[in-house]
Amino acid sequence: MKFTRTNIADVIICEPEVHGDARGYFVETFRQDRLEEFLDYKIKFCQDNESKSSRGVLRGLHYQLAPAAQTKLVRVIKGRVLDIALDIRRGSPTFGKHVAIELDAKSKKQLFIPRGFAHGFVVLEDDTIFAYKVDNYYSPKNDKGIAFDDVDLDIDWQIAYDELKLSQKDTKQPKLKETNDLFEYGVNYYA
């Protein structure tokens, strides 16, 4: 597994080695020991989630506040998405900035998104299956979001606005500057 830091150093691209031949392929999708060695801190994933969506479905930008904050390791099993990790740590040099990366079933790339980030993705192909690990259970009372279309974020979702398919929840999220439900840079949310 190869790990590469993005333009926001805490967000990491994870590239597994794919072994393929005429029979198909084998890939090791997760190695906790190698990830923790790269991160230099411990992660304990406790829940796996999966969604199936059609082209144009946009989910996000979601996060959970402490004590239910979540780290995510996301990947595409079938299809293709544009994945976004948004820094919502007040005081961070990259506050309000984001990482955008295309994830697809062919490359098997994954994105590691630490606590302190909002996450979202838009589906670029029909019948896309998206999976992710989290290190904290879902907590409705700590569930928060940021408006996907906040112009200050300058996110290019790569699909026309009128083609997007959104949940009611995602049409009503506040802009980043309108919320106080954020993280603080420098606070250890893993303690």
Q: Is 28 a member of any domain?
A: yes
**Which residues are part of a known binding site for substrate?**
23, 28, 47-49, 59, 72, 119, 143, 165
Q: Is 190 a member of any domain?
A: no
pLDDT tens readout for residues 139-159: 999 999 999 999 999 999 999
Give me the residues paired with residue 110 across strands: 14, 75
At residue 168, the pLDDT reads 96
Q: How many helices and strands (H and E) does the chain possess? A: 1, 15
Q: Is 152 a member of any domain?
A: yes
| pTM for the model | 0.95
**Cα 63 from Cα 71, distance rounded (Å):** 9
At residue 191, the pLDDT reads 75
Count: domains in the chain = 1
Q: Is 191 a member of any domain?
A: no
Distances (CA, A) of 159 to 3, 48, 145: 29, 27, 20
Q: Is 106 a member of any domain?
A: yes
Q: Could you tell me the mean pLDDT of each successive run of 10 residues in the chain, 191 residues long? A: 96 93 91 90 94 98 97 98 98 98 97 98 98 97 98 97 96 97 94 75
**Cα 146 from Cα 175, distance rounded (Å):** 6
Looking at residue 141, which CATH number applies to its domain?
2.60.120.10
Residues annotated as catalytic are 62, 132
At residue 90, the pLDDT reads 97
At residue 190, the pLDDT reads 87
**Which residues are part of a known binding site?**
23, 28, 47-49, 59, 72, 119, 143, 165
At residue 113, the pLDDT reads 98
Q: Is 113 a member of any domain?
A: yes
**164 is in which domain, residue-wise?**
2-184
